[in-house]
Amino acid sequence: MIRENRTFAEIRPGDSAELMRTCTADDFFVFATASGNHNPLHLPEHDHDGDGVKDEPIAPAMWVGSLISAVLGNILPGPGTLYRAQDLQFLGHAQAGDDLVARVTVLEKHDDGRVRLATIVERPSDGATLVRGEALVQAPSAKLSFEDLDLPGLVVQRHRHFDTLLERARALPPLTVAVVAPEEPNSLGGALLAAEHHLITPIFVGDRTRIEAAAREIGRSITQVEIVDTSGHVAAANKAVDLIAAGRAQALMKGHLHTDDLLRAALRKDNGLRSGRRLTHVFVMDVPGLAHPLLVTDAAINITPDLTTKVDIVQNAIDLAISLGIPEPKVGILSAVETVNPAIPSSVDAALLSKMAERGQITGGIVDGPLAMDNALDLKAARTKGLTGAVAGQAEVLVVPGLDAGNMLAKQLTYISKAEGAGLVMGAKVPIIMTSRADGEKARLASCAVAAVHHARVSASRVAELAQQ
């Protein structure tokens, strides 16, 4: 878009121009960062009046007023304009989601090249005037035109999807979780943190002496937590599975032990947690700038899955996505290309999985593949390649060809795209919570929240099924 200014000679009293802008919560974070004004009144997820309820943020008044400068600098007078003075009266407040119109009208011209303009910001939805005042600017004397500047994009590192998930999970009864070998500070601290947030009620299964030593190291009391004293990680994993088989726990959580030891106990033949499906791991990623949670699978358990295993990988991910509130998950089966190439086995598997979903062998979601990474997530890239299906460019679940690709993708999202990732093992009778020592506080909480929300939906479905019998 070419922007052309109005020179001082071209401007006439009565000339007017306006721009519309939609308020977003991210605008308020950007303003807080740029201005240094961190007043919580203007930021989401804060209790502004101290009543214990989080309130909708109010747009910073100076941010609303700054919309006037966009009209002056872009349209009237336009490029080359310099501010000399601005007075503002703040008459109302805006909130995220409001459409605002900033308008300027020329009042008079001075002989020295200055122009005085009436300035106003209104909310068209109710006709409210939010800001009124006058601006004095130095109008450009030379004709200028610019192609609209390609400014660097800004991504606010906010994890709104996990915030919503945590709120949803806190409304549920705490999930009783058998935590296996929380014998060092990270694993113990993560379980205690989730308990403090009323997401879980932990039962610690492991060496009591080591668990108590870890608690002392982080300065925490665990006197209110049940400890099942068990020596050795293999024994602890089996004892935790016994607790689930006896109905004393509703989920399993990995502590400071090898994943193989935990899953071997879960998959034992006698009173194990087998459900008839393969165990598969799902990362739930909250990626800043992405409008929905992104599920990545399998990035932790199945190294080179065959087609049969991939069916379970896809179905488990769909089931979890539904629990997270995605009614009909869009599943993109990833490959290096978006066309079937017999020389690339992942592209063949992707096409077969897509057809199996079409025939009802995979249910609950929309499955399409093969898709390359770009046209799975970017609608413009998908349309450029001529892909018009419901999944292309809009995938909510990404199924990777193998563990290598999945692990790299998940870590790229975490360390480059600043995503937070929750981990859950699916395919067992109960959720298995998997966290990493490198996980931050929000990721640990989110993993427990994902387990709680999924358990609640599955339990409700089982009750409904029994009622119909």
Q: Return the bridge partners of 175, or none.
A: 200
8 by DSSP, 3-state: which? coil
Structural contact between residues 214 and 183, judged by C-beta atoms closer than 8 angstroms? yes
Mean pLDDT for the stretch of residues 300-326? 96
Residues 6 or more apart in contact with residue 149 via CB below 8 angstroms: none
Among 153-167, 183-197, 293-307, 313-327, the range scoring the smallest mean pLDDT is 153-167
Q: HSE-up of 276 (CA within 13 Å, CB side)?
A: 1
Residues 6 or more apart in contact with residue 107 via CB below 8 angstroms: 13, 116, 117, 118, 134
Q: What's the whole-number average pLDDT of the chain? A: 92
Distances (CA, A) of 356 to 35, 217, 310, 447, 448: 54, 52, 11, 30, 32
Show me where the domains of the chain are located. Answer: 2-147, 160-468
Closest to 161 (Cα-Cα) out of 443, 428, 397:
443
Top-tier CATH class for 160-468: alpha beta
Structural contact between residues 94 and 58, judged by C-beta atoms closer than 8 angstroms? yes
**For residue range 391-409, what is the model confidence (pLDDT) as tens digits?**
999 999 999 999 999 999 9
Structural contact between residues 394 and 330, judged by C-beta atoms closer than 8 angstroms? yes
The 10 Å CB-count burial string (b at 16+, else e) for 202-223 is bbbbbbeebbbebbeeeeeebe
Q: Quote the DSSP letter at residue 218.
A: T
Q: C-alpha angle with apex 345: 341 to 348, nearest 5 degrees?
A: 60
Mean pLDDT for the stretch of residues 55-69? 92
Task: Tokens for 389, please give them.
Answer: 């299906």
Q: HSE-up of 162 (CA within 13 Å, CB side)?
A: 25
| Dihedral Cα 158, 159, 163, 166, nearest 10 deg | -150
**For residue range 423-443, what is the model confidence (pLDDT) as tens digits?**
999 999 999 999 876 777 888
Structural contact between residues 218 and 142, judged by C-beta atoms closer than 8 angstroms? no
Q: Return the bridge partners of 16, or none.
A: 105
Residue 161: the pLDDT is: 87
Residue 29: the pLDDT is: 86
Q: C-alpha angle with apex 222: 218 to 226, nearest 5 degrees?
A: 140
As a whole number of angstroms, the distance between CA 88 and CA 262 comes to: 64
Q: How confident is the model at residue 149 (pLDDT cuts 50, 70, 90)?
A: low
Query: Per the omega criterion (within 30 degrees of 0), is the bond before 305 cis?
Result: no
Q: HSE-up of 61 (CA within 13 Å, CB side)?
A: 11
**What are the DSSP E strand ranges found in 152-242?**
175-180, 200-206, 226-229
Global pTM?
0.75
Task: Tokens for 60, please give them.
Answer: 């910073």
Residues 6 or more apart in contact with residue 66 via CB below 8 angstroms: none
As a whole number of angstroms, the distance between CA 40 and CA 59 comes to: 11
Q: Tell me which residue has tokens 């459409």.
A: 99
Structural contact between residues 119 and 68, judged by C-beta atoms closer than 8 angstroms? yes
Q: How confident is the model at residue 347 (pLDDT cuts 50, 70, 90)?
A: very high
Residue 77: the pLDDT is: 96
Residue 351 has pLDDT above 90, yes or no: yes
Left, alpha or beta for 192 (phi > 0: left; psi -120 to 50: alpha)?
alpha
Residues 6 or more apart in contact with residue 310 via CB below 8 angstroms: 349, 353, 399
Q: How confident is the model at residue 48 (pLDDT cuts 50, 70, 90)?
A: low
Q: Quote the DSSP letter at residue 70.
A: H
As a whole number of angstroms, the distance between CA 428 and CA 277 comes to: 7
**For residue range 206-238, what is the model confidence (pLDDT) as tens digits?**
999 999 999 999 999 999 999 999 999 999 999
Residue 198 has pLDDT above 70, yes or no: yes
Q: Which fold has domain 2-147?
A: Thiol Ester Dehydrase; Chain A (3.10.129)
As a whole number of angstroms, the distance between CA 424 and CA 414 comes to: 16
